[in-house]
Amino acid sequence: MKHISIAIDGPAGAGKSTIARQIAKELGFIYVDTGAMYRAMALYFIRNDIDSSDSKKIEEACPYVNVSIEYKDGEQLVILNGENVNGLIRTEAVGNMASAASINKSVRLKLVELQQDLAKKANVVMDGRDIGTYVLPGADLKIYLTASTKERARRRWAELKEKGIDADMNEIEKDIESRDFRDMNREFAPLKQAEDAIYVDTSNLTIDEVIQKILLYYQKIN
Ligand code: C5P
């Protein structure tokens, strides 16, 4: 049986995970957060004192990293070598390592297989950077979700403030720019809009407006 897949790609801070999660809930699909998988691998590299720029060590470590996914009450759990690491992968350090380590082909190939497998087994809304272009090129609906760098930095700043963390807006903006650069310029499966993806700029839209827009696009393909 052919399953339906919706690919949502875009740069950091565009609102992909919030939106993808809610769309999946609305449609009764499974939400697949691929960034969490890169973060789990990053946690392994950090724990093993591997430098984010040491591609050789990263490559050598890959066969020892096993990432799998489970679902509990509709929430995705990321399992790293048998351990549920969901609560450990949302730190800045893990995010930075994930951004740097994900340029390595061996890291990506390992996770792409897992992602394609999930889409074979169920209807999915999958978010990431290369879903529409590389992981699921035949996805039924592809969305390229973005927002201005300033707006993405403002959102990140507000998120940190909510957690009681005082951050510098200019620093956040610089960090977002360097993550964008790495994602868009890596050799293997870089972030770019798929030719058949719909471009959605969320800078001036509420979360709800974005969700309604995407659900409308979904209705059109049915
Ligand atoms: O989306 P999130 O911030 O959790 O992703 C962490 C990092 O993993 C990103 O900075 C990005 O470089 C990388 N990533 C990727 N391809 C994906 C998902 C995430 O390269 N499909």
pLDDT category of residue 222 using cuts at 50, 70 and 90: confident
Distance 34 CA to ligand 1 centre (A): 7
Q: Is the ipTM of this complex over 0.95?
A: yes
pLDDT category of residue 158 using cuts at 50, 70 and 90: very high
User: Is 16 part of any known ligand binding site?
Assistant: yes
Q: What average pLDDT does the structure give for the chain?
A: 96
Distance 211 CA to ligand 1 centre (A): 21
pLDDT over 80 at 213, yes or no: yes
In the prediction, which pLDDT does 133 show? 98
Distance 109 CA to ligand 1 centre (A): 14
Q: Residue whose CA is closest, atom 12 of ligand 1?
A: 99
175 lines ligand 1 (CB under 6 A): no
| Partners of 201 in the β-ladder | 146
Distance 184 CA to ligand 1 centre (A): 11
In the prediction, which pLDDT does 163 show? 87
Q: Which of 6, 26, 4 is nearest to 212 (CA)?
A: 26
The reported pTM is: 0.96
Q: Residue whose CA is closest, atom 19 of ligand 1?
A: 35
In the prediction, which pLDDT does 70 show? 96
d(CA 37, CA 20): 16
179 lines ligand 1 (CB under 6 A): yes
Share of the chain above pLDDT 90, in %: 94
| Partners of 17 in the β-ladder | none
In the prediction, which pLDDT does 8 show? 98
pLDDT over 90 at 215, yes or no: yes
Lowest mean pLDDT among 46-50, 151-155, 163-167, 189-193: 163-167
User: Is 18 part of any known ligand binding site?
Assistant: yes
pLDDT over 80 at 1, yes or no: no
As a three-state string, the secondary structure of the chain is CCCCEEEEECCCCCCHHHHHHHHHHHHCCEEEEHHHHHHHHHHHHHHCCCCCCCHHHHHHHHHHCCEEEEEECCEEEEEECCEECHHHCCCHHHHHHHHHHCCCHHHHHHHHHHHHHHHHHCCEEEEECCHHHHHCCCCCEEEEEECCHHHHHHHHHHHHHHCCCCCCHHHHHHHHHHHHHHHHHCCCCCCCCCCCCEEEECCCCCHHHHHHHHHHHHHHHC
35 lines ligand 1 (CB under 6 A): yes
d(CA 23, CA 6): 9
Q: Residue whose CA is closest, atom 13 of ligand 1?
A: 99
Q: Which of 53, 81, 51, 89 is nearest to 65 (CA)?
A: 81
